[in-house]
Amino acid sequence: MDKPKFESQSSIEKLVSLMTMLRDKDFGCPWDLEQSFVSLVPYTLEEVYEVVDAVEKKDMVELEDELGDLLFQVVFYAQIAKEQGFFKFDDVVNGIINKLVRRHPHVFHGGKVTGFGSKPGISAAEVVINWEAIKDIEKAEKKSKYDGVNQNEQSASILDDVPRASPALERAIKLQKRAARVGFDWDAIGPVLAKLKEEVIELEEAISHKDSDAMQSELGDVLFAAVNVARHTDTHPEVALRQSNSRFENRFKWIESSLAEQGKTVNEVDLTQLNQLWEQAKEKGL
């Protein structure tokens, strides 16, 4: 591509053009040419978590950089798809534009962007309800495209399209939300907490019997029940756990620092002393 033409492009057009060059069979980058949909997945997950980390640290400089890396992943997938004749980056963009307009009828009245400009007149909770209803319609329309295809290849459960590759906590909450939509759920927090306590008791029994398979199974049930508690308290389990990780890290580092001032290390003091320091760290709000 000649320089004048490249410079006249928009920012996103430049990025797509650069991706095409990187994947050029004659002059492209050997590493980029070796990549596939599957090989990119670990890098994509890494970029997502780096975006999350930047947000949690409130580091806007890093966030800007990491969002660029994440956008590059999207362009990379689209380029591979284009080469294999599946879809182009423009198709991805147009798809999400159409989806956003379709799923926000309270903003884009009549299902058109030209319908924008009046108050939504709907609450955030109602938006979620409508969003799920629209998704159900979209799912039914997509399923109808499989007419004449082997019935075994079609979805038979409302849980079928919950991605199996999702992180376990994320998938647990999605499975629970799907089941709740058809009434498989408690309508109060009491039974949810009772279920969590029940699962902890069953874990204790498995531990007492030293049954490794049962321990793994029951621990999974405890985690699943804890996710249910998170859902019923409008708390995202991944966010909650990341915050707990951060608190643990801050408190442990404070303990290390405090001991270092005394010329000691963590492995030179007993657990009682460590617990006392832990409580001091908590009192400091760490």
pLDDT (tens digit per residue) in 83-97: 999 999 999 999 999
Binning pLDDT at 50, 70 and 90, where does residue 161 land?
confident
> For the segment 178-209, what is each residue's pLDDT rounded down to a tens digit?
999 889 999 999 999 999 999 999 999 999 99
Q: Using the 3D structure, point to which of 102, 118, 153 is the last residue of a domain.
A: 153
Q: Are residues 116 and 175 in the same domain?
A: no
Q: Using the 3D structure, point to which of 104, 127, 153 is the last residue of a domain.
A: 153
Q: How many domains does the chain have?
A: 2
The verdict on residue 87 lying in a domain is: yes
Mean pLDDT across the stretch 210-220?
95
Write out the residue range of the structural domain in which residue 250 sits: 168-283
Please classify residue 151 by burial: count the beta carbons closer than 10 Å to its beta carbon, then call 0-12 exposed, 13-18 middle and 19+ buried. Answer: exposed
Q: Are residues 140 and 274 in the same domain?
A: no
Q: Which H, E and C letters describe the chain, residue by residue?
A: CCHHHHHCCCHHHHHHHHHHHHCCCCCCCHHHHHCCHHHHHHHHHHHHHHHHHHHHCCCHHHHHHHHHHHHHHHHHHHHHHHHCCCCCHHHHHHHHHHHHHHCCCCCCHHHCHHHCCCCCCCCHHHHHHHHHHHHHHHHHHHHHCCCCCCHHHCCCCCCCCCCCCCCHHHHHHHHHHHHHHCCCCCCCHHHHHHHHHHHHHHHHHHHHCCCHHHHHHHHHHHHHHHHHHHHHCCCCHHHHHHHHHHHHHHHHHHHHHHHHHCCCCHHHCCHHHHHHHHHHHHHCCC
The CATH number of whichever domain residue 254 belongs to comes to 1.10.287.1080
> For the segment 233-270, what is each residue's pLDDT rounded down to a tens digit?
999 998 899 999 999 999 999 999 999 999 999 999 99
Q: Are residues 204 and 253 in the same domain?
A: yes
Stated pTM of the model: 0.67
- At a CB cut-off of 8 Å and minimum separation 6, what does 129 contact? none
> For the segment 8-39, what is each residue's pLDDT rounded down to a tens digit?
999 999 999 999 999 999 999 999 999 999 99
Q: Are residues 145 and 93 in the same domain?
A: yes
Query: How far apart are the C-alpha atoms of 18 and 6, rounded to whole Å?
Result: 9
Mean pLDDT across the stretch 129-143?
79
- What pLDDT does 125 receive? 84
> Percentage of the chain surpassing pLDDT 70?
95
Binning pLDDT at 50, 70 and 90, where does residue 79 land?
very high
Q: Are residues 111 and 209 in the same domain?
A: no
Q: Are residues 101 and 16 in the same domain?
A: yes
On the question of pLDDT at 149 being above 60, the answer is: no
